[in-house]
């Protein structure tokens, strides 16, 4: 997808990108420079939802204490 920069430095974001990012008039976007020098456009005003793995990170719950684990490994009940 190619677009042209205006004299004011403005560009039109292609419709496919607007739909992908769910951009509507008034949406805020950020530009980030990647390590390879490319520039990435991301939506800034929408909360990024964590993946199912990120949501579980650090949540082992109330598990067994060390003594209980040792008893299980030794076959004690």
Residue by residue, pLDDT tens for the chain (77 residues) are 889 999 999 999 999 999 999 899 988 999 999 999 999 998 888 766 667 777 777 766 677 788 888 888 998 86
Contact 34, 40 (CB under 8 A): yes
Per-residue pLDDT, 48:
62
* Cα within 13 Å of Cα(11), Cβ side: 12
Q: How many angstroms separate the CA atoms of 60 and 70, rounded? A: 18
17, 1 Cβ separation under 8 angstroms: yes
77 token code pair: 């009940």
Residue 61: the pLDDT is 67
Tokens for 46?
A: 């929408």
Which domains are present in the chain? 1-47 (2.10.260.10)
């Amino acid at each position: 997808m190619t677009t042209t920069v205006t004299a004011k430095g403005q560009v039109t974001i292609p419709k496919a990108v607007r739909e992908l990012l769910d951009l509507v008039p008034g949406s805020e976007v950020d530009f980030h420079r990647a390590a390879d020098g490319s520039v990435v456009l991301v939506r800034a005003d929408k909360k990024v939802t964590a993946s199912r793995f990120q949501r579980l990170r650090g949540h082992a719950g109330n598990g067994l204490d060390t003594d209980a684990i040792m008893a299980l490994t030794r076959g004690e009940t």
